[in-house]
Homo-oligomer: A and B are copies of this chain.
Amino acid sequence: MTDLSQQLAFVLEIDKLKAVYRQTTVKEDKDRHENSAEHSWHIALTAQILKDYAEYPIDIERVVQMLLIHDIIEIDAGDLFAFAEQQDHAQQALKEAQAAERLFGLLPPQQHEQYKALWFEFEAAESNDARFAKAMDRILPLVQNMNNNGGSWAKHKISQPQVLARNKHLEYIAPKLWQYVVQQTDLAVSNGWLKKD
Contact = CB atoms under 8 A, between A and B. Distances in A.
Interface of A: 4, 7-8, 10-12, 14-19, 26-29, 34-35, 37-38, 40-42, 44-46, 48-50, 53, 60-61, 64-65, 68-69, 107, 111, 140, 143-144, 147, 176-177, 180
Contact of A46 (B4, B11, B147): B11
Q: Which of A10, A29, A69 has the most CB of B within 10 A?
A: A29
A14 B42 contact: yes
11 contacts: A11-B45, A15-B27, A15-B42, A18-B34, A18-B42, A19-B29, A38-B38, A40-B41, A49-B111, A61-B61, A64-B68
Nearest to A59: B61
Contacts of A7: 49-50
